[in-house]
Amino acid sequence: MTPEDRAALGEALLGSVADAVVYCGRDGSIALWSPGAERIFGFTEAEALGRSLDIIIPEAQRARHWQGFDKVMATGHSRYGAGDVMAVPALHRDGHRISVEFTIVPMRDAGGAMVGMAAVLRDVTARFEELRALRRRLAVTEGAR
């Protein structure tokens, strides 16, 4: 694959509405917001750029998120950057909760220092709700025995 083909592929992936791609700097402010992020979270690019990731993190999860974020910024390491997928609740612009799965890509400068993180996120709300409904039915069925 030529460098031009790689660049074209990168642009196509970033322009896709299927999954969200979000990049933030060390301070946690959003510097890239893909069309997929707009579709999943409801914020336009103009509304999201420059704002804190808090716009998509439910308040109850923020302290834990920032603790993990700061650890990755300090160490440059996360199992979610090695292919493991994390499932978390998130917020849509209108305030309703959604479920997302994501991986991260730590971003470093030429000297290897952490400068930010990119995340690839997928809305899995429908699957999460189906699983929850199945668990409820199973609990009722087992409780009737």
First to last CA, the chain: 60
Please tell me the distance from the alpha carbon of residue 111 to that of residue 114, in angstroms, as a whole number. 9
What CA dihedral angle connects 22, 26, 29 and 31, to 10 degrees? -50
Please tell me the distance from the alpha carbon of residue 121 to that of residue 72, in angstroms, as a whole number. 18
Task: Identify residue 40 by its one-letter amino acid code.
Answer: I
What pLDDT score was predicted for residue 112?
A: 92
CB atoms within 10 A of CB 85: 12
Spell out the per-residue pLDDT of the chain, length 145, in tens.
899 999 999 899 888 888 999 999 999 999 999 999 999 999 999 999 999 999 999 999 999 999 999 999 998 887 766 667 888 999 999 999 999 999 888 899 999 999 999 999 999 998 877 777 778 877 777 776 6
Beta bridge partners of 101: 87, 122
Pairing of strands 86-91, 114-123: unpaired
Query: For the whole model, what pTM was predicted?
Result: 0.84
What pLDDT score was predicted for residue 102?
A: 92
User: Domain 3-143 - what CATH class?
Assistant: alpha beta
